[in-house]
Structure 1
């Protein structure tokens, strides 16, 4: 359905959106989208580091010292 819009159609849509919302509203909206993307990437990085830290803690040897000597 959207495969055959083409460049003229996209330009027409952009002009209509600009007329309806105005330049200031679109600018602020794009700023909010940018902040959202930045926050999302930061959350992904924090989640990844938390998973790596948990994996490192789980891989640590917790066998008591007296049990290690018996093996």
Structure 2
């Protein structure tokens, strides 16, 4: 018998309808839907901003990584003078 018994759910439903009324329950569903849409939109706009942040992070990472400088060593024929 626990909370999943159909009788318990029926009693809870009746109490909710008595407390909030049917008009409020209709608008509650619409309000929850709007809140979910707003949340999704906010998450999507944050994800749209991420590529710029990632580019900055990648450029900072390349500055911190060791780099190899390519070149050729050449022999100097003139001696260095010591004074």
Determine if the TM-score, normalized by the shorter chain, exceeds 0.5: yes
Aligned length: 62
Runs of 4+ in 1 over 3 A off after TM superposition: 56-60
User: Could you state the TM-score of these two structures normalised by the residue count of structure 1?
Assistant: 0.66
Task: From the two aligned structures, give the one with the greater helix fraction.
Answer: 1
Task: Calculate the aligned-residue CA RMSD, in Å.
Answer: 2.5
Q: Which runs of 5+ in 2 are unaligned?
A: 60-68, 71-83
Higher RCO, 1 or 2 (CA under 8 Å, sep at least 6)? 1
Rg larger in structure: 2
Q: Which runs of 5+ in 1 are unaligned?
A: 61-69
User: Could you state the TM-score of these two structures normalised by the residue count of structure 2?
Assistant: 0.58
SS in 2 for 1:47: helix
